[in-house]
């Protein structure tokens, strides 16, 4: 499995001026690698050319030299670390687009289900939404090409293209007797870092910074905080879960909204000490309200910089699961003919010196991306003395991460005397497991619920025609408790649907045992179909175990920041 399969976590890079690699630069590198011997570069180049000649003269089929050369470069980079990668011209273009806040396409979220790629939701104010694509539309052709066996990525690539150019989709819609055709002109599609920002309860704001760190991230955060402040913001949940990272300068600015002015945010250390640099908050006077940061195993790189800075300074509580552990800095180099590569040139450290990167030695690339260092323990914290809480008679202990018997790296003393361990991502102050969704039964329930709700919103479930959705989503609406009730009648209709579906792979006993999960997923899809994906995300947050716990921890987050702020060693 190629590491490019996991490209979302290769993101956090320092953008440099385009640099051509080769010629004198390449020969100097070869010479240095062989101890400076004059013949070093010549020997390596000769061996490569000899191997290529043998292949050319003896291989049984026609050789695709471009593909072979790409594989050679990629193999060389993978021998270094999991995040140094080669990109073809098309991949390099996509890499550059992913660091922007917009791309050109039609603006639709799609997902492969068991028999094809379906529309999950159109994005507000995009060509897809204006054209009338809806939840549950099955994409069966793109520009006349049959897509029923295509992957999500293949369909996504096919519908993207130059702005203003048309693309024609053939879709199957539940409730429609004949296929529908949509000719849509591609346009600029917003790709914001902040997908949701709202008051989750009076005085408590939520910012879902889950879309990577692009050129507009800090500006988006500033706007979200200003908007929430106007609504009475007094406490904040910053959600970094599944945020794969992005631009270093944006991570620094985002963290600077929270850590004290003049304090460190992150340091970058390279092989050449002259390239080492510490970045501080020189941008903002930070907000001072209680803060909880949500993270998980999909929070990587720039996300870990922010979470690490908040945790090191005791500015708020980090809640959830251990982050990915991506602390290698990549510089982008442009190669001839539109190709490019990312090369690791430095490592990230938190303000007090914790290495963010976890070990990638002794395993395959697949193991590195698929497993979150299962042998590592959870970092403890130590706080030998705790002052009394303001306004109270007793001492309120500074919140501490869950103790662990086996530290995963060197001990680092941070603000307030708390001790954490580096070398394995950012461990949360409070570990909280997410909603269980990966079990085989729940995975099958999710799939079956999608097909059921597709029929339900298409008006195809007898006796439940009132659930039919006849127009594009009403974006911007918040689901009320009385909207889309999943009552016993709906549950019975789902049971009947499961019994009729030979591909369900579910028993009625399993459905009964998981009835609450069935209700959750049915209503999620109903909200999605009617109000859009952002509204569905907001609905799911109401019962999210990590979010629920975060809301309970604000008193501890406040005590932590205040106690550390009064300690002399926190300066």
SS3 145: strand
Residues 6+ apart with CB under 8 A from 175: 458, 459, 460, 468
Length of the chain: 571
Angle between helix 515-531 and 488-500 (nearest 10): 100
* Interatomic CA distance for residues 525 and 135, integer angstroms: 9
Helix (H) or strand (E) holding 419: strand 419-421
Which of helix, strand or coil describes residue 207? strand
Element (H, E) at 238: strand 235-239
- The number of CA neighbours under 13 Å toward the Cβ of 473 is 32
* Catalytic residue list contains 101: no
Phi-psi region of 31 (alpha: psi -120 to 50; beta: other; left: phi over 0): alpha
The yes-or-no answer on residue 301 being catalytic is yes
From residue 420, alpha-carbon distances to 258, 295, 416, 425 in Å are: 20, 17, 12, 11
Cα–Cα distance for residue pair 108/95, rounded to 1 Å: 19
Tokens 């009947």, residue located: 496
Q: CA-to-CA distance for 172 and 179, rounded, in angstroms? A: 5
Catalytic residue among 3, 218, 256, 301: 301
Distance CA 303, CA 296 (A): 10
SS3 30: helix
Q: Choose the catalytic residue: 326, 427, 429, 544.
A: 326
* Alpha-carbon span 529 to 539, nearest angstrom: 13
Catalytic annotation, pick one of 81, 137, 312, 544: 312
- Positions of E strands within 492-559: none
Secondary structure of residue 189 in the 3-state scheme? strand
Give the residue numbers marked as catalytic.
Answer: 301, 312, 326
């Amino acid at each position: 499995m190629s590491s490019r399969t996991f490209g979302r976590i290769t993101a956090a890079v320092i953008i440099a001026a385009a640099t051509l690699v080769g010629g004198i630069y390449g020969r100097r590198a070869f010479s240095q690698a062989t101890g400076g011997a004059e013949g070093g570069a010549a020997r390596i180049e000769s061996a490569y050319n000899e191997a290529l000649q043998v292949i050319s003269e003896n291989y049984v089929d026609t050789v695709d030299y471009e593909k072979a050369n790409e594989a050679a470069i990629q193999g060389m980079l993978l021998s270094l670390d999991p995040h140094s990668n080669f990109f073809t011209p098309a991949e390099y273009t996509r890499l550059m687009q992913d660091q922007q806040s917009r791309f050109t396409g039609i603006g639709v979220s799609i997902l492969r289900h068991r028999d094809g790629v379906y529309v999950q939701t159109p994005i507000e104010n995009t060509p897809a939404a204006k054209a009338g694509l809806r939840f549950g539309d099955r994409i069966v052709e793109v520009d006349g090409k049959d897509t029923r066996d295509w992957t999500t990525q293949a369909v996504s690539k096919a519908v993207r293209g130059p702005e203003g150019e048309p693309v024609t989709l053939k879709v199957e819609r539940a409730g429609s007797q004949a296929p529908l055709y949509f000719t849509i002109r591609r346009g600029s599609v917003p790709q914001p870092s902040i997908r949701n920002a709202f008051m989750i309860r009076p005085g408590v704001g939520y910012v879902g910074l889950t879309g990577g760190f692009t050129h507009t991230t800090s500006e988006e955060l500033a706007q979200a905080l200003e908007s929430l402040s106007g609504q009475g913001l007094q406490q904040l949940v910053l959600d970094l879960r599944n945020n794969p990272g992005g631009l270093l300068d944006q991570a620094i600015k985002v963290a600077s909204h929270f850590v004290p002015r003049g304090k460190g945010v992150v340091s970058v250390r390279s092989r050449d000490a002259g390239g080492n640099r510490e970045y501080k908050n020189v941008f903002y006077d930070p907000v001072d309200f209680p803060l909880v940061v949500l993270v998980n195993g999909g929070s990587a790189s720039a996300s870990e910089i922010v979470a690490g800075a908040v945790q090191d300074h005791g500015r708020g509580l980090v809640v959830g699961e251990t982050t990915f552990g991506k602390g290698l800095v990549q510089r982008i180099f442009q190669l001839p003919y539109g190709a490019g590569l990312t090369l690791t040139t430095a490592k990230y450290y938190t303000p007090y010196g914790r290495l963010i990167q976890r070990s990638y030695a002794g395993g395959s690339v697949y193991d590195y991306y698929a497993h979150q260092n299962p042998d590592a323990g959870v970092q403890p914290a130590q706080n030998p003395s705790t002052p009394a809480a303001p306004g109270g008679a007793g001492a309120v202990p500074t919140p501490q991460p869950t103790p662990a018997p086996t530290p995963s790296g060197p001990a680092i003393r941070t603000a307030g005397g708390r001790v954490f361990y580096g070398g394995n991502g950012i461990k949360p102050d409070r570990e909280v497991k997410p909603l269980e969704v990966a079990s085989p039964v729940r995975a099958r329930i999710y799939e079956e619920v999608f097909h059921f709700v597709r029929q339900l919103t298409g008006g195809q479930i007898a006796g439940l025609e009132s659930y039919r959705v006849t127009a594009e989503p009403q974006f911007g609406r918040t689901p009320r408790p009385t909207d889309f009730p999943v009552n016993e009648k709906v549950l019975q209709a789902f049971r009947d649907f499961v019994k009729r579906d030979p591909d369900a792979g579910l028993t009625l006993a399993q459905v009964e045992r998981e009835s609450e999960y069935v209700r959750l997923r049915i209503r999620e899809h109903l909200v999605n179909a009617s109000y859009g994906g952002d509204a569905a995300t907001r609905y799911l947050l109401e019962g999210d175990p990590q979010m629920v716990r975060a809301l309970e921890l604000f008193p501890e987050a406040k005590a932590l920041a205040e106690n550390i702020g009064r300690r002399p060693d926190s300066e």
